[in-house]
Chains A and B, each alone.
Chain A
Amino acid sequence: MRRVVVVGAGIAGLALALELRRFGCFVTVVERRYPGAGNSTRNVGRLRRMQLTSDLTAFSCRASDKWRTVHELTQGRNPLLYRTRYVWVLYDDAERDALEPLQAMWDEHGAQARLVDARDVVRAVPVLSGGEQPAGGVIGAAAIVHHDAAVYAYYQAARDAGVSFHFGTDAADLRLDGDRVSAILLDDRTTIVADAVVNACGGHSHELAARFGVETPNVPIRREVLVTEPSQPFMTPAVTFYRPQEGWFNQTLRGELVAGVVDPDEVPGMNERSSLRFLGRTARVLLEKAPRLAQLRVVRQWAGVYDTTPDKRPLVGEHPERPGFYALNGWSGRGMLLAPLAAELLARELAGQGRDPALEPFAPGRFAGGSPATAVSGDYYSGYAH
C-alpha cells in the first residue's frame, strides 16, 4: 500500500499519518475542520494501564509504553505526558470483592496495579477526606497527557514529514475498482487516488462508513465534562469512582479540576451539546466524595462522545466487505491511550509487514454473522463480563 488517505485529523489519524510516512507511504489527511477537532480536543487525556479484561490490559500496557516514545517520534516535541497514578475508588464491598480476582491478571501483564484498602485510597487522594467513606480501591500506574500538546506534536511532525493535509473538506464517496477501493472523492470534487482509505473519524466514524456503504456497529455516546479555574496542586492521581454513580475527576497540569459524573440514562447518538442537569449532578456527587472542592469555580462545561462498540474494543483493520477500506476508530473512551500504538500497528499492516497478533480482538469484521450487537449506554463498565 503506497498511497493512503486518512479521513480525520484527530490523534488517531495524525498518529497513523506520521507512522505511515516512516514506512515511506504517501499520505493525505482529509479533515472537515481543524487538527484535533472532535474528541481529541474534548477529552482529558487520562492514560490507564489497568483494564478489566486480559486482552485490553495487555494492549493498554503496551500502548502506555508507546506513549513514552512519542517525544522522540515527533522530533523532540513534548506532549506534556505527566506520569502519575490512577485510583479507582470503590464505595461498595461487593465491588472490591469482584475486582480481587483481577490482581493476578494485572501482575501478569505488568499493569502495576494493586487492590488497596480505604486508608490507602484517602492517602493517595487526600481531597477525599471528609467525604463519603470508600470501601477500598485500586491504585495503578497511569499518565495524564495534554491532549492539545499531543495532537499538535503529531500534527507538526506529520507536516514536517511530508504528509499533505486537506482541511475544510469532507469525504464524499469512495471510487472502486471491482469491490476494491481505488480513490476517494471529496466534497470539493477533488479525487485522490488511494490504495487504502482509513476511517479515523472518531464519533463520526459510523456516519462515514455508512456514507461508503459499510455497516459498522459503533455508536457515539455523549460524555460531559466541567472544568474549574486553576489552583495550586492539591492532587496528582486520576480518580474514577463507579457504582452506584459513575464519575471521575483529576487536576490538570495547569491546575484546573476536570470532572464528570455520568448520566446512566444517556441516550446513544451524536450529541455534543452541554446539559444543565450534568452541572448540578456532577457538582453534588463530587462534593459528596470530596467536600473540600466546594469553593472551586466552574468556568466551563462541554461535551464530547465516546465512539462506542458493543464489546467496548476499538475497530482496527480492514473491513472484510470493502477491501482497501480500513477502520481506526470505535475507541469506546480509550482513544488517547490506544491510538498511538494502534496507529503504529495498522501502519505496519498497511506497509505490508503483516498484522500484529495484538490487533486480533479489534478486527472490524468480528461482529459479522453473530447476534446483531449494539452498543449500550449506562454504566461504562457494564459491557464487560467480569
Chain B
Amino acid sequence: MFDAALEALSIVLDPNRIPFMFLGISVGLLIGILPGLSGTVGMAILLPFVYGMDPYTGMAMLIGMAAVLHTGDTFPSILIGMPGSSGSQATIMDGYPLARKGQAGRALGAAFFSSMIGGVLGGLVLLVSIPIAKPLVLSFGSPELFMLSVLGLSMVGILSGNTPIRGVLVGMIGLMLGAVGAAPAVAEYRYTFEWIYLFNGLPLAVVALGLFAFPEMIELLAKKQSISKSEKLEGGWLEGIKDTIKHKWLVLKGATIGSLIGFVPGLGGSVVDWITYGITKQTAKANNNFGKGDIRGVIGPEGANNAKEGGALIPTLLFSIPGSGTTAILLGGLSLLGLQAGPRMVNEDVSVTLSIVWTLVLANIFGAAACIFLSKYISRLSLIPATILVPFLLVVLTVASYQSSRQFGDLLLFIGIGLLGLVMKRLDWPRAPLLIGFVLSQASERYLWISMERYGFTWLLHPGVIILGVIIVALIAGGYVLKRSTEKKDTTETANTA
C-alpha cells in the first residue's frame, strides 16, 4: 500500500500532468468565487476536455476542480453574504457579519486555513476508509438514512436563534417546496400544473440564491452603503490563521462530521455545512454571539465542506453511487476515461484511486494558498458602494440562476423566492431552516417511504436507528438546557452589574 501510494504521488507530480491539475484548480476557484455557480457547472465545463486524456491526467483535472470549489466559494459567502455555491451557505451566518464589522480578512484567513486542513483530512479519510468502506456503506440502510435526514432537519430549531417555532414553520415550508416535481416513489407529479419546468423540482441553486442573495442586494441598495460599515479593513489573514490554530479541535470536529456525512450516500452534500454549523453552535461554550460574527461559526463549516469531498468520493468510486451533482458527472468522466466505478477501483485500478487522494491533498493546499494570496485584493469588494456593486452582482446572479436549467422558469423562480426571502429577512424570520427543509425533503420522504414499505414499523428497532435517535434527542435537549443556563447566567450577570 505504501509503495503504491508513493508511486501514485510520482504519477500525480509528473510534469505533464501538473498543468492539468492547476487548470482544474483555477476553474474550481473561479466557479467558487462566482456566486451561485456550483461544482456541477465546473464539471460540465471540464468534462469535454477529458476526452482522450489518460485516466490520471483527467482525474487530476476533475478532482482538482472539485477539491477547491468549497475553498473559493467562501469569498462571496463572507464578503457579500451570498452563497458561493449551492452547497455552501452556512459560512454566511457568521462570516458575513464579520465582514460587515470590517474583519473580512480575518474571516477569510480562518476560512481558508480550516478549509485546507479539512480538505487534507478528507483526503486521508478517503485513503484510510478504502479497506473498511464496504461494511460501512452497507450499514446504512434506508431506515438509518431516514434518521440521518431527521438529524439534519433537527438543526432547524438550533439555527433559528430565539424563535424556534418560526424555524420549525419555515422548515416545513422548505419541505413543501422540496416536494414540487416528480415524487420520489410513485410516478406522480406534484404541484407542477403540467408545466414541464417544474417536473424536475425547483433547482437548489435558484432557491439558495433567491433566499440569500436577492434580499441582500435589495438591502444594500436601500441603505446605499458598502458592505463593510467601517472604512478600514482590520484584521489580516494571519489573525484568521491564529484563530484557526486556537480552535484546532473545532476544525477536526468539522472535518470529521464533513467526511462522515459526505460519505453517507443518498443524503447529498448540501446539508453538511448546516449540520456542522448547528453542532458547532450547540456544543460551543458561550454561544450567544453566533450569528453575529463569531469566528467559530466560520471555522466549523469551512473545515467540513472541504472534507466532505473526500468522504463523498467513497460511495462514488467504490459503489458508483453519486452523492451529488458533481460526483454524478464525475462518474460520466470516469467512463469517458475508460474506467468503471466499482470494486475495481480498489483492486486493479487502485493507482487511480490513490492518485485521486493525492490530488485532493495537493489541490487543497494549493487552492487555500492561492485564496489567501488573493484575499488581500478580493476582500476590498466589501468596500465598494452598493450602487456600483449591486448592478454587477445582479447580472452575475441572473446568469447563475439561469445556468441551473436554462429555462425561463429559473428567472421567475429566482425573483419569486427572492421576494419571499426579502419579506422573511425584513420580518426577521430565519431563512436557513427553509433551505434545510428543501434540501432534505426528497431524502426524508424517500427513505421513510422505503422503510415503511419494507419493514413496517419494525425499522424503529434497528440499532442504527436507535443510536441516531438518541443523538438527535441529546442535541435538541442539550441545546435547550444550555440555552436555559446561559440565559440564567446572563440575567444574574446583568443583575450583578445593575
* A and B co-occur in one complex: no
Interface set of A (CB-CB < 8 Å, partner B): none
